[in-house]
Amino acid sequence: MLLTNPAARSGAHTGAAMRAAARLREAGMRVAVISGGSAAESSALLRTALEVGADAVVVAGGDGTVALAVQQLAGTDVPLGIVPTGTGNDLATSLGLRDLDAHGAAAAIVRGATRVIDLARITRADGTTTLYGTVLASGFDSRVNDRANRMRWPRGRLRYTIALLVEFLTLRGMPFQVDLVSADGTTERIDGDLVMATVGNGRTYGGGIPICPDADLADGLLDLTLVRPAGRLRLLRLLPRVYRGTHTAIAEVETRRVRAVELSSPGVTAYADGDPIGALPLRVEVVPAAVRVFGA
């Protein structure tokens, strides 16, 4: 089953999805293309695909559409293929798949080599849960997401860069409480003002920004990155290091390897896989070896 997202990149997904489907059929595979008009409809179609015995699910879209698929595929042995046609495509990139490369994405599926990766589970205050594959953002970076999602132009990484620079003008610290369970099982509480707190299963968000540069999709842990307040001029000078992934050496940045973390901050919302998740507090925990994926 190949699921397309009609909203992904204003139609650019359509050609890539059809090229991928054609390549898979040339290799002797039976491919049914499905397209949901909403997240709920897409999820229902994915559930039906599993019920009728699909051997694999392929998603043509970005991280948000991929996130719909992992909700259904987690805990099964049905592999997930990705044709990256969205704005961010961070999980696809982590798997070695290039933006809008339908041939490369299809070739990875034809080869049949898969790997098992971790996911992260979010539990909201009301007890509802959701899974994500890349990064959860809260604080400054979630405000950047808010702004980027309201922008119709430009697309891709540049959109996040512009949104980041605009939000930077009103940058300030926010009171956070962070309760974490370290890799060795010890617990710790961190109280104080933070600019942002991110929890990475993968390395990047926003179309390739390596906010958690040492994260590993299959290590059974999450990478927590906390940024404390500093003068705007200092933080502005350090922004290039964020894009290079060298910011973790900065005094205002603290990183931890964790099994689980709870984030609390009044009035702060969170994003995961580029989509809004809800207001803090939220608990995030790793789900080791959760889903099987095709990679380059």
In angstroms, rounded to a whole number, what is the distance separating the alpha carbons of residues 245 and 240? 9
Angle at Cα 204 formed by Cα 194 and Cα 50, nearest 5°?
115
Catalytic residue at 275?
yes
Asked if residues 199 and 223 have their Cβ atoms less than 8 Å apart, the reply is yes
Residue 215's contacts (CB-CB under 8 Å, 6 or more residues apart) are 200, 201, 202, 203, 222, 223
In angstroms, rounded to a whole number, what is the distance separating the alpha carbons of residues 187 and 180? 6
In angstroms, rounded to a whole number, what is the distance separating the alpha carbons of residues 109 and 223? 29
Q: Could you tell me the two tokens for 53?
A: 């015995």
Q: Could you tell me the two tokens for 239?
A: 């922004």
Residue 117's contacts (CB-CB under 8 Å, 6 or more residues apart) are 133, 217, 218, 289, 290, 291, 293
Catalytic residue among 146, 179, 219, 275: 275
In angstroms, rounded to a whole number, what is the distance separating the alpha carbons of residues 289 and 10? 33
Q: Are strands 57-61 and 2-4 parallel, antiparallel or unpaired?
A: parallel
Asked if residues 286 and 116 have their Cβ atoms less than 8 Å apart, the reply is no
The residue type found at 279 is A
In angstroms, rounded to a whole number, what is the distance separating the alpha carbons of residues 159 and 165? 10
In angstroms, rounded to a whole number, what is the distance separating the alpha carbons of residues 2 and 158? 29
Active site residues: 275
